[in-house]
Structure 1
């Protein structure tokens, strides 16, 4: 399979934040028993970097994203952005989930406007909604309702809703996991374009090895639960990338071996 070209200029400056995860462990209490999920995880994402997290299903990757988003607090360890501890949610850190979770009674415009409305900024910064819709290729669909959108278009609307807040850290929890293969390839290209144009830092959870290699600067491989870091792979390949690049094919083989999926 040959990747679509991602013909991009150099990023327009780095608006991203530096993320540090320091020796983070976490567990849940389930029916009186302790369920360990993360075990001493330490990693960094530099400003403007896209880091992909790979690992077995249920190993704790999404839990780590919730901690980075400030939706939960770790049992031990620390998470920091630009040296400041994460103590709760913040508009500068936005999560895009696998399901677009659009409100069906709101238009695309109304869904994208939610963040600005909640912060009392809609009247003064309304133009940012049109800018976000244009960025994701949804200009002209502002009056459409979610049931009128394809899966890919709905996920574009969810991305616009995130981007309208101008995040410095975009947290992507398998955002393309439910799309058909052709739409997924197209959206991978669009996400790379958006990331490189805007310069935010991105943390991507995916089960797709090719997706991680196509998009990320680095790939971090986790063990089974409780998640520990098994390996960190630097993807030293310029954009645009092509999936049949021998260098990426070799990295794919190495990652599959690390994940225990090699033939």
Structure 2
């Protein structure tokens, strides 16, 4: 099911993200911890970009900066030419943990963003649309403890999409799911991206996941993160895991990450 849009302008609700010479550090008492080192990325409107790199290298910090939750120590992040200085419903961050409100039903969790913005009455229909889109109509009145991990993450994504974000920032959204559920969620995320047109920036440790979903894969070094490689993935969707070109790209990316090609 595709969401209903009132015009072509509504459908093209994505943005250009510019990350320009961004460095970042944290002050830890008597020492400084550098996290990002002169990172520059240009993400086109509607593009799906995946970020790969060692655990703890700074990928999640970059998402927080793009969401406006923190300001960079140096450099500039902007959306469509406007500096990012604070959080905005146009830019939504989805975490590895679903972080649902346990006292709210699925329906009310999805509606919480609209409620917080004071537009729930006018946009109540969006909740029903998103329930159908993520295939959870039958669980609308269930509570988070009654959901599987995959279902809870669907709710988290629906809660993000109900605000019609132009940029979806995904921080290992399927990292804690079992392998079969993860495969299903990858397909569903791809379908949601195709249907709704948002710009996507995905942090993942899964090379195969990056190659199956993204238009472009960016590889970071260990902390402080620097870009060491960029790979354009030109295969059309749906992509097959055993496609020879993707297998070659996987081998190349693993080598960039310092992992043996026979893994």
Q: Give the TM-score, by structure 1 length.
A: 0.94
2:3 matched residue in structure 1: none
How many angstroms apart in 2 are the aligned matches of 1:68 and 1:220? Answer: 16
Deviation (angstroms), 1:31:
2.2
Deviation (angstroms), 1:14:
3.5
Aligned counterparts, 1:1-263, within 5 A: 14-262=12-260, 263=262
SS of the counterpart of 2:137? coil
**Runs of 4+ residues over 6 Å off in structure 1:** none
How many angstroms apart in 1 are the aligned matches of 2:143 and 2:47? Answer: 34
Q: What do the CA deviations read for 1:72-103 (whole angstroms, capped 9, x no partner)? A: 00011000000000000000000110000011
How many angstroms apart in 2 are the aligned matches of 1:250 and 1:137? Answer: 35
Deviation (angstroms), 1:15:
2.3
How many angstroms apart in 2 are the aligned matches of 1:221 and 1:136? Answer: 30
How many angstroms apart in 2 are the aligned matches of 1:111 and 1:197? Answer: 22
Deviation (angstroms), 1:174:
0.2
How many angstroms apart in 2 are the aligned matches of 1:117 and 1:138? Answer: 20
Pairs aligned (count) = 252
How many angstroms apart in 2 are the aligned matches of 1:81 and 1:29? Answer: 27
SS of the counterpart of 1:72? coil
Q: Give the TM-score, by structure 2 length.
A: 0.94
Deviation (angstroms), 1:170:
0.2
SS of the counterpart of 1:189? helix
Q: Which runs of 5+ in 1 are unaligned?
A: 1-11
Kindly indicate whether structure 1 or structure 2 has the higher relative contact order, using CA contacts under 8 Å at least 6 residues apart: 1
SS of the counterpart of 1:244? coil
Q: What do the CA deviations read for 1:174-208 (whole angstroms, capped 9, x no partner)? A: 00000000000000000000001111000000000
How many angstroms apart in 2 are the aligned matches of 1:247 and 1:14? Answer: 31
Q: Which has the higher helix share?
A: 2
Deviation (angstroms), 1:60:
0.2
Deviation (angstroms), 1:118:
0.5
